[in-house]
Amino acid sequence: MTLRPEQAKALIERVMATRDQEMTCDACLADVAEFVEMQLTGKPLSDALQAVQAHLDRCHDCAEEYHVLRQALEALAEEDG
């Protein structure tokens, strides 16, 4: 299989974006509620939660879970407010 130049470039960019300690989806989802809470309250993210952000930037499935949770919490906050 031969890669087109844009495919090769995208593959190289993904490899370069990896970290020594990659977060798994399970670990990300375990911390995503705390991540959303910190975002909604405007508090700074800890190093662990910054790893959640990095994972969400690369993982479509976890990013979807994050967006659903954030929308639900925002809707609840509007009802309470």
- The H-or-E segment that residue 55 falls in is helix 47-58
Residues 69 and 41: beta-carbon distance below 8 Å? no
pLDDT tens for residues 40-72? Answer: 999 998 888 999 999 999 899 999 999 999 999
Q: How far apart are CA 77 and CA 26, in angstroms?
A: 26
Cα–Cα nearest to 22, from 10, 14, 12:
14
Domain residues for the domain of 76 are 22-80
Cα–Cα nearest to 31, from 78, 76, 66:
66
Residues 52 and 35: beta-carbon distance below 8 Å? yes
Whether residue 10 lies inside any domain: the answer is no
Whether residue 5 lies inside any domain: the answer is no
Q: What's the number of domains the chain is made of?
A: 1
Model pTM score: 0.69
pLDDT tens for residues 8-47? Answer: 888 777 766 666 567 899 999 999 999 999 999 999 988 8
